[in-house]
Amino acid sequence: MADQDLTGALTELLDGRWGDIRRDARERMAAFPSPSTHDLTTEQHRAQVLDELRALAKAGYPRHGFPTRYGGEGDTGATLTSFEMLGFGDLSLMVKAGVQWGLFGGAVEALGTERHHERYLRDIISLDLPGCFAMTETGHGSDVQHLRTTATHDPDTGEFVINTPHEAARKDYIGNAARDGRAAVVFAQLIVDGRERGVHALFARIRDDDGEPVPGVRIEDCGRKAGLNGVDNGRLWFDHLRVPREALLNRYGDVTEDGTYTSSIESDSRRFFTMLGTLIRGRISVAGAAGSATKSALAIAIRYGLVRRQFTRPDSDDEVVLLDYLAHQRKLLPALATTYALHFAQEELVTRLHELAGAEHDDRRQRELESRAAGLKATATWHATRTIQTCREACGGAGYLAENRLPQLKADTDVFTTFEGDNTVLHQLVAKGLLTGYRQDLHELGSVGMARFIAEQFMGTVIERTAARSLIERLVRAVTPDDEKTDLLDRGWHLRLFEDREKHVLDTLARRLRRAGEPGADAFEVFNSAQDHVLRAARVHVERIVLEAFVAAIDRCPDPAAADLLDRVCDLHVLAAVESDLDWFLGHGRLSTARAKAVTGAVNRLCAGLRPYAGVLVDAFAIPEPLVGAPIATGAERDRSDAQRRHEGGALPRTEDTGPGDGGGPATVAAT
């Protein structure tokens, strides 16, 4: 199959359900200024990003996700896909668009009611009303439930008085606040009739029509950052700012004209988490944009690795192409494989949110989605940080030049691991979600009860009822009980290995945390001492669902050659993950020493077998050349020996062509 045809087949699969949105985005973004903005001043960069944001508004970019009655299209999946595509360009534009239409506009839509929608949404969509999402405080970032900003109801006037009681309660790092924002959705502790009702959101003007702060609001520029300097992050203080009663975004809690607080959700805590649950699009969007930035870095590094030569063979004067070295392949190709895996997991997550948005509310599905969004956001952004750094190193000094984008990608994505939820905190949320129901059943669980609890949690919460589930179960059932005789490339064995690891980690974590219910136990200390275990439970859970998403994607791939190639990419993703966690698999008796060594050998052979396809795999991302933006990756002559190597090595083998135990497959492809 010609490279061009194979690339096209892969691109079609990667584009997925919202392929038209991706194609439109590529065409639109290719006309934007270069994503390399290292030579711009802060003010120049901010001005350029604002101009680009206006161009997006004019082109209708933000309409996808808003209700049709306010000029939108009501397509949740389309808006998340559009946001993901912005990650291929200037990430400052992606973040500023996310603040305006994802966070600010999304909060007004999700937390407000018709009175807010009618008054504000059209102007938010058109960018006539630029705004901010004022949640984070200096003293309380991840712990949103205990924010210190207050919004006190004044029964004499019917107004709310928003106040910053001390310095640690200032709103910090607020996008759009330093320069362009005219209004903000402010999160504050609502106080009605002397009683705190928990965190609520209010709509407040922060600047007048001339761009000056309104009385009662103080604004300060956060200044230049390590990256994302096209975003005007600022700090906000409120000095008894008065806003009308109608400013309260009242979908989940309201105050009547006579000063009575009402809510359809009685529990303050449950109301708080329900409110936050409506805002998960931000985390999903960040995960998608992180994936796009990772793809850009891999495209740059792999293209460079295909043309850069260094050192000669002993029997030749020809210098060796960098990507012919196993060490270089090991740097880049496992990361590329995992990037593919995360892409399909992200696509599945977007699809689930899209379908849930149009369905009757289901608490269980909503919690499941929130947990998955948190886990994938953490995994995708940590992967981006590691991979972009690896790509920088793989390009040597050229990768350190600002013109080649890698330093900028590194700086711009570094904060992704801590905004829209600190990753460590998000993984704790995932683990707590897996242990839902444990606390109330704590005292009743003996060994049999505990086993039943784990089984119910795994089968009811962890394993989703998806269309691909029957395929996964069939593959797992087909695996021989003797692991030592199973082919290392057997997909059923991969799935069973990841499921078994997750079950074991969750089981032992539940048993460990059970001590919190013992007489005299300090529940905090019990949980705190098990945090390493908590984070592992979340990580292995996400690794399992990512693998299942990859398997499902291969199964629906209509092109046999592309499916065969993706099979080997999936093999590399799995075995590289196993290799990175060999201490656990060995320590818990899941792999013998000999089989663990075979895993490393199989990873080496998979890298060698996939090396001729590296260019095809990154070209399939279909990043417009102007957006690649790195001289070392654009306009350079590609390594024309790839096709020849492919003919010499033959087609990629199918799993059934390999022998048991050592992984076999890629050994039939000529090593380079």
pLDDT digits (tens, 9 = 90+) for 269-299: 888 888 887 778 999 999 999 999 999 999 9
At 479, is the pLDDT very low, low, confident or very high (cuts 50, 70, 90)? confident
Strands (DSSP E) contained in 472-528 are none
Position 116 in a domain: yes
Give the SS3 label for residue 115.
Answer: helix
Does the structure show a pLDDT above 70 at 538? yes
Q: Do 287 and 426 fall within a single domain?
A: yes
Residue 279's pLDDT is 78
Which one, of 320, 389, 299, 295, lies nearest residue 634 by Cα? Answer: 299
Q: pLDDT higher for 622 or 451?
A: 622
**Distance of alpha carbon 215 from alpha carbon 247, whole angstroms:** 17
17, part of any domain: no
**What proportion of the chain, given as a percentage, has pLDDT over 90?**
71
Q: Which residues contact 304 (CB under 8 A, 6 or more apart)?
A: 322, 394, 395, 398, 399, 632, 633, 636
C-beta pairs of 467-473 under 8 Å, 24+ apart in sequence: 467/552, 468/548, 468/551, 468/552, 468/555, 471/551, 471/552, 471/555, 472/548, 472/551, 472/552
Interval 200-226 mean pLDDT: 97
Q: Which two tokens stand for residue 551?
A: 């398997």
C-alpha–C-alpha distance, residues 549 and 339, integer Å: 12
| Of 164-168, 442-446, 473-477, 521-525, the least confident | 442-446
- For the chain, the residue count is 672
Q: What pLDDT score was predicted for residue 481?
A: 66
Q: Examine the domain organization and report whether 560 and 627 are in the same domain.
A: yes
Q: Are residues 258 and 395 in the same domain?
A: no
Give residue 198's domain range.
32-268
Q: Is the dihedral of CA 449, 455, 457, 459 positive or negative?
A: negative
Residues 231 and 292 in one domain: no
β-partners of residue 133 are 185
Q: Per the domain annotation, does 273 fall within a domain? A: no
Residue 335 confidence (pLDDT): 98
Asked whether the beta carbons of 371 and 429 are under 8 A apart, the reply is yes
User: Is 41 within a domain?
Assistant: yes
pLDDT at 528 (0 to 100): 86
257 and 317 in a single domain? The answer is: no
pLDDT reading at 27 higher than 50: yes
Same domain for 1 and 122, yes or no, is no
Residue-level pLDDT at 640: 38
Instruction: Check which CATH number belongs to the domain holding 464 and give it.
Output: 1.20.140.10
Residue 331 in domain: yes
Measured between alpha carbons, how far is residue 494 from residues 338, 490, 572 in Å? 15, 6, 11
Domain count, the chain: 2
Are residues 317 and 424 both part of a single domain? Answer: yes
- For residues 167-171, give the mean pLDDT: 96
pLDDT for 215-231, tens place per residue? Answer: 999 999 999 999 999 99
Q: Is the pLDDT reported for residue 622 higher than 80?
A: yes
Which of 137-151, 336-350, 478-492, 593-607 has the weakest average pLDDT? 478-492
428 lies in the same domain as 321? yes
Residue 71 has a CB neighbour count (10 Å cut-off) of 14
Q: What is the mean pLDDT of residues 422-427?
A: 94
Q: Are residues 316 and 391 in the same domain?
A: yes
Model pLDDT for residues 107-137, shown as the tens digit of each residue: 999 999 999 999 999 999 999 999 999 999 9
pLDDT at res. 525: 87
- Split at pLDDT 50, 70, 90, the class of 462 is very low
Which residue has better confidence, 656 or 9? Answer: 9
Checking if the pLDDT of 447 tops 50, the result is no
Decide if pLDDT at 470 tops 60. yes
Show which of 210, 243, 268 is a domain's final residue: 268
pLDDT band at 1 (very low <50, low <70, confident <90, very high): low
Q: Are residues 548 and 664 in the same domain?
A: yes
CB 425 within 8 A of CB 432: no
393 and 518 co-located in one domain: yes
Whether the predicted pLDDT of 203 surpasses 90: yes
Residue 13 inside a domain? The answer is: no
Looking at 30-34, 77-81, 127-131, 513-517, which range is the least confident one?
A: 513-517
Confidence (pLDDT) at 3 = 83
Give pLDDT tens digits for 32-57.
888 889 899 999 999 999 999 999 99
Instruction: Calculate mean pLDDT across residues 541-553.
Output: 96
Out of 231, 247, 268, a domain closes at 268
d(CA 275, CA 532): 29
Closest CA to 624 of 62, 16, 40, 33: 33
Residue 211: inside a domain, yes or no?
yes
Q: Which pLDDT does position 455 carry in this prediction?
A: 46
Query: What pLDDT does 641 receive?
Result: 42
Res 78: pLDDT: 95
Residues whose CB is less than 8 angstroms from the CB of residue 365 and which lie 6 or more positions away in sequence, other chains included: 356, 359
Domain final position from 212, 247, 268: 268
Q: Which of 189, 307, 328 is nearest to 248 (CA)?
A: 189
12, part of any domain: no
Mean pLDDT estimate for the chain? 88
**Are 66 and 199 found together in one domain?**
yes
**CATH code of the domain in which 165 resides:** 2.40.110.10
Residue 320 dihedral angles phi and psi, to the nearest 5°:
-90, 135
Compare 367 and 550 and report the one with higher pLDDT.
Answer: 550
Q: If 0-12 CB within 10 Å is exposed, 13-18 middle and 19+ buried, where does residue 432 land?
A: middle
Say what percent of the chain tops pLDDT 70.
89
Task: Tell me what the mean pLDDT of segment 505-522 comes to.
Answer: 84
